[in-house]
Structure 1
Amino acid sequence: MTVTTCIFDAYGTLFDVSAAARAAASETGREAFGAHWQEVARTWRDKQLQYTWLRAVTGRHKDFWQLTQDGLDYALESVGLDGDAELRERLLALYWELEAFPEVPESLSELQQAGKRCAILSNGSPEMLKGAVESAGLGGLLDDVLSVEAVGVFKPDARVYDLVGDRYGCARDEVLFVSSNGWDVCSAAAYGFATAWVNRAAAPLDRLDAAPDHILPDLSGLPEILR
């Protein structure tokens, strides 16, 4: 069946999750943080994701903004910077203004011109996603932004992927699901979506029940595989 709808994960797929820490590290007077920013960015992201999985498994849901704060607090403490309240607030403010990866606007524009619906399906809270989309200037290139808050559980719970069919009334094999997270794209493939893994880190494939249909280094090759 022909793909009619392209669904994108947000963080790490469209938006560079390291951008907040990188921007803060470049600011005057942040030499101590500058020595650790890459480690903080990596740990922040790892804990943010781990907390989504743990809360999904235990049924103790909190929205993604709270988990983003919790992950940052862990990351800052891990490098001994948990006492810097001003740094914490600055990093959280920058997270609402994450940069899109360079190829994202053109890739979305090409898909839009090809008649494909393009939407986000993300763990992010609606307010966070609205801020990121507006900051990156992607509003005119997306048909919708879907958040897990509509069902109160994080990916890869199938109820999250159900939101796509509920919104568009399309069959699963009409959807191309695109994510930079291997676990997310493998779970979406098992669900029945056509899938593309944006493997920006050249990571090994997760050992799960299904594999992505396409593996790309970034989004620039996506329009071509749909032609």
Structure 2
Amino acid sequence: MITPGSVRVCVFDAYGTLMDLSAMVERFRPDLGDRAEPLLKLWRKRQLEISWLPPQVVTKADFWLVTGEALDEAMAHFGLDDSALHTRLMRAWLEPAMYPDVASSLLRLRAAGIKTAILSNGTRQMLDEGVRAAGLGPALDALLSVEQAGVFKPEPAVYKLVNDRFQVSPQSVCFVSGNAWDVHGAARSGFQVVWINRTGARAENLPRGTAATIATLADLPALLGV
């Protein structure tokens, strides 16, 4: 359970939490047809798998580079050699669709005096452009990228960026993510963690350390008592 009145900062993962990656399927179905969904799933899978390699293997926390490498693999798997399509697919990460519950929920938290931030594997440029495209800037106090830590989630140094930026204890931070591995990493860092399960996915052993589970961000303000 979230401790009532204890949260001073609410931090959100970006991709799959605030930003709707599944919307890319319909966006690129005219180009890819029935291959749209499997290609995008493989792309996302490889993107994460590369980011999870040990830091000594992935020497630079550059999510844009990792995303491009993963797309190269996914397109090759499906026999696609189309540089223009590659460019447009990459561009989609700079103008992602936001879930419809995002802006109103974040603004409600800020109106109640809770600071809001994104903590993401995305580069600062990816986050800046995505937030700008969605008009979400007024709902956020900070954008935190793993570039500042030099490693990807779920390395502890990434979550420490929140404490350093806001000068708060881990227990005063609510961290929200739709990704089980991210939930686990944040809980290990001492945050009060909320798993947003938008699709009603069956719970696994992960996410361990979950303080609460919600189906929509619209449920978050009440959960925090605001």
Question: Please, what TM-score do these two structures have when normalized by structure 1?
Answer: 0.91
The answer to whether the 8 Å contact 2:46/2:70 transfers is yes
- 1:113 partner amino acid: A
> Which residue is equivalent to 1:226?
224
In the alignment, does 2:157 pair up with 1:159?
yes
Is 1:37 matched up with 2:43?
no
> 1:8 corresponds to which residue?
12
Pairwise CA RMSD of aligned residues? 1.7
Alignment-derived partner of residue 18 in structure 1 = 22
Measured in 2, the distance between the counterparts of 1:171 and 1:205 equals 29
Farther off after superposition, 15-24 or 113-122: 15-24
Gapped regions of structure 2 (runs ≥ 5)? none
> Are the counterparts in 2 of residues 55 and 61 from structure 1 also a CA contact under 8 Å?
no
Conserved 8 A contact 1:190-1:209? no
> Which residue of structure 2 aligns with residue 144 of structure 1?
142
Q: Aligned letter for 1:115? A: G
Q: Quick one: percent identity of the two aligned structures? A: 41
- Compared with structure 1, are the counterparts of its residues 149 and 206 closer, same or farther at alpha carbon in structure 2 (3 Å cutoff)? farther
Partner of 2:50: 51
Cα deviations by residue, 1:159-202 (Å, 9 ceiling, x for unpaired): 01111111111011000000110111122112110010011233
Measure, in 2, the Cα distance between the counterparts of 1:59 and 1:70. 12
Q: How many residues align?
A: 221
Task: Quote the offset at 1:208 in angstroms.
Answer: 5.3
Task: Please give the secondary structure, in 1, of the residue aligned with 2:185.
Answer: helix
> What corresponds to 1:77 in structure 2?
76
Q: How far has the Cα of 1:55 moved from its partner? A: 4.6
Cα distance in structure 1, aligned partners of 2:207 and 2:104: 33
Which residue matches 1:90? 88
Deviation at 1:146, TM superposition (A): 0.4
Alpha carbons 1:17, 1:45 under 8 Å: kept: no
**SS of alignment partner, residue 67 of structure 2:** helix
Post-superposition CA distance 1:68-124 (Å, at most 9, x none): 11111122222222x122211111122211010111111111111111100001100
CA distance in 2, matches of 1:110, 1:209: 26
Deviation at 1:59, TM superposition (A): 4.9
TM-superposed CA distance for 1:54, in Å, is: 0.9
Indicate yes or no: 2:93 matched with 1:105: no
TM-score, structure 2 as length reference: 0.92
Q: Deviations over 1:121-164 (max 9, x none)?
A: 11000000001000111000000000010110001111011111
Distance 1:154 1:16 in 2: 21
Question: What is the Cα deviation at residue 207 of structure 1?
Answer: 3.1
Tell me which residue corresponds to 1:178.
176
In 1, Cα distance between the equivalents of 2:64 and 2:13? Answer: 16
Question: The residue matched to 2:53 in structure 1 has which SS?
Answer: helix
